[in-house]
Amino acid sequence: MTQVPDISNKLYINNAFVDSVSKKTFPTINPATGQIIAEVSEAQEEDVDLAVAAAKKAFARRSPWRQMDASERGKLITKFADLIERDAQYLSELETLNSGKPLEAVKAELKAYVNVLKYYAGYCDKIYGNTIPVDGTGFCVTKKEPIGVVAQIIPWNYPIGMAVWKLGPALCTGCTLILKPAEQTPLTALVLAALSKEAGFPAGVINILPGYGPIAGEALCLHNDVGKVAFTGSTDIGHKILEYSAKSNLKRVSLELGGKSPLVIFDDADLDEAVNIAHTAIFENHGQNCCAGSRTFVQAGIYEQFVKKATEKAKNRKVGDPFESNVLQGPQIDQPSLDKILRIVEESKKQGAKLETGGSRIGDKGFFVEPTVFSNVTDDMSCAVNEIFGPVQTILKFNTLDEVIERANNTTYGLAGGVVTKNINNALVFANALQAGSVWINCYDYITPQTPFGGYKKSGFGKDLGADSLDDYLATKTINVLLPVKN
């Protein structure tokens, strides 16, 4: 990996890379080695004020951004996507260095992210209101308008992906924005900032503020000139963001939060296919996935066979240097994440879960953990209740459809779920009954630009992706005209 350029180490405000006002910086760590990659400018409250002011000015009525044709806005987003595609190799390497994600996986993900931006580019001139046949002699139309200045706070597990998921609908609808990347993974967001400037976005439309959540994130959420906060992250922080909205200007909020998603496998399923689906559902991205299939329910008739095959597959999963082509699992993001995983593993063992494989740290450099499989798991065990955010497969046994529906819904979360079966009736009954925002049948984590993604219950509200996501960035204005009546 080449040295990170200086341009990637600063705040991006009003189309310029600048030091924070305080000149403070914070270290960015390579999770595969634990060593510092770069020192990055740390946004403080005064930097938030500058970025919000720039975004507010860019949203002014006569600004170039507000006067731009919607179709031209689409062309800008398309050019932005093309530049990401052009620099995919560099972005992929930087993402791997900063997040520990396997390089080949990041390359594949980037293709999908380019498609997300192009999807929203095509939607720019297709946002419109309605005419309404009102009572009396009135003529009524509704108009869809951008919310205005938007704060977007994203997590570290898919740094480029989460940025694109937020940028796409905000730019499509004509909002201006301040994006705060996670403090663990700020580097690729700053490269995206440089590419957005090259694409030709007017000053102030896109601002990127690396920094810590309790400082920069809180300041954004409390700022009275921010009209909306879009957040992806933990449920605990989601609660705080709602409090900040209430304390400030009642800004609109959309939240994509945690999950403890069930994947249900019936005994009529193809066993090898089911094992593969379940394996990917939990071990993809090292288990650092909000919608990971982290509760694997297997029907009693195939339970023992499934556990045996799932354990063997986990044992054969290659863990190591994420730049190596055959590696499927790199490090966890940081030491606190590693510690949490190992703590839940130990708690679950004490509670009676059977450790089939894994459960330990790998080496003493970086934050690697073994792919782990638990069997004989009950619904009240730590590994079945808590969002582990790591490569830990918990396999629970069930007998009937009604039973597994009740158990699958017995959680405060409701982000996603899946079912593997040859019986379409069972599949559809389960899909209809599951209290979750996404349900996958005979697959898992099948997400495209067109499909809305978001949760129920404590997994949040609002959507990323699809046309539904645009609603979170638009306000509806009703215009009534009273027409004269001639006798």
pLDDT tens string 212-237: 999 999 999 999 999 999 999 999 99
Query: How large is the C-alpha radius of gyration of the chain?
Result: 24
Dihedrals φ, ψ of 467, to 5°?
-65, -30
pLDDT bin (cut points 50, 70, 90) of residue 4 is very low
Q: For the chain, what is the HEC assignment?
A: CCCCCHHHHCEEECCEEECCCCCCEEEEEECCCCEEEEEEECCCHHHHHHHHHHHHHHCCCCCHHHHCCHHHHHHHHHHHHHHHHHCHHHHHHHHHHHHCCCHHHHHHHHHHHHHHHHHHHHHHHHCCCCEECCCCCEEEEEEEEECCEEEEECCCCCHHHHHHHHHHHHHHHCCEEEEECCCCCCHHHHHHHHHHHHHCCCCCCEEECCCCHHHHHHHHHHCCCCCEEEEECCHHHHHHHHHHHHHCCCCEEEEECCCCCEEEECCCCCHHHHHHHHHHHHHHHHHCCCCCCCEEEEEHHHHHHHHHHHHHHHHCCCECCCCCCCCCECCCCCHHHHHHHHHHHHHHHHHCCEEEECCCEECCCCCEECCEEEECCCCCCHHHHCCCCCCEEEEEEECCHHHHHHHHCCCCCCCEEEEECCCHHHHHHHHHHCCCCEEEECCCCCCCCCCCECCCHHHEECCECCCHHHHCCEEEEEEEEECCCCC
pLDDT bin (cut points 50, 70, 90) of residue 484 is confident
Confidence (pLDDT) at 6? 46
Q: pLDDT, tens digit, for every residue of 87-140?
A: 999 999 999 999 999 999 999 999 999 999 999 999 999 999 999 999 999 999
Q: pLDDT, tens digit, for every residue of 440-476?
A: 999 999 999 999 999 999 999 999 999 999 999 999 9
Confidence (pLDDT) at 7? 53
Q: Would you call 346 a catalytic residue per the annotation? A: no
Question: What domains lie within the chain, and their CATH numbers?
Answer: 6-257+460-477 (3.40.605.10), 262-448 (3.40.309.10)
Of residues 256, 284, 356, 387, which has the active-site annotation?
256
Confidence (pLDDT) at 486? 73
pLDDT bin (cut points 50, 70, 90) of residue 487 is low
Asked whether residue 5 carries a pLDDT value surpassing 80, the answer given is no
Structure pTM? 0.96
